[in-house]
Amino acid sequence: MQVKNLFRSLAIAFLALLAILTIIGILRRDHNGWTESEKALILRQDSLMNVTLMPKDSAILRSKAAELTPRMLRSRETKELVAKMLYTVRHPSQDGVGIAAPQVGISRRIICVQRFDLPGDPFKACLNPVIDTLFGEMAPGREGCLSIPDKRGIVTRHQGAVLSYTDAETLEYHRETIEGFTAVIVQHECDHLDGILYTDRADSLWTVSD
């Protein structure tokens, strides 16, 4: 009888511990899905965000980024993050053609890409982007990366991609066929979301001076 009561007490204590851990996990997240650390990083940084660099930030740059939930897509944090990513990639100190959320310390599936295939070469922010298909010839091209500023390389990539994503501005779903240099940028940035760097795919690499 005493053994039975002991097991019952242990079971109750275990369930209570699980409940406490669940509550802690909920409290550590903002109600819309962002963690408190993500929220602080997004809202407290200036418009020009700190770009993560190899090798010191390899933990986040080599991680697979998480998808945005439907609630996160509509959140203030997503809107601010996208605006700051766009400001950062276009800033003279960076002067990039694309950036992914892990490059500003947020392991979420967001990319900003300059659309050289559209009039005016605008930047487009894509939420939860997925490359459905790659097509066209494989061609070598020169690439660099904001997170590896001292390197350049030659990477052979497909010259066409079919991209599905949610538009950050309208929150509408799109599926587009993209070709040329923009398709290369899309592949480079989507690689970032899976912890892949262009140096992993490079045919050749070299060091550049400031």
C-alpha to C-alpha distance for 106 and 146, rounded to whole angstroms: 15
Helix or strand run (H / E) with residue 162: strand 151-167
Structure tokens at 125: 């922010």
Asked if 189 is an active-site residue, the reply is yes
Residue with tokens 């009039």: 119
Look up residue 204 and give its amino acid: S
Cβ–Cβ under 8 Å, residues 202 and 154? yes
Structure tokens at 138: 């494989």
Cβ–Cβ under 8 Å, residues 133 and 161? yes
**What are the φ and ψ backbone dihedral angles of 143, each rounded to 5 degrees?**
-135, 155
**Counting Cβ atoms within 10 Å, is residue 202 exposed (0-12), middle (13-18) or buried (19+)?**
middle
Structure tokens at 208: 């550049």
- How many whole angstroms from its chain centre is CA 208? 26
Q: Which of 38, 77, 143, 189 is catalytic?
A: 189
Residues with a catalytic annotation lie at 189
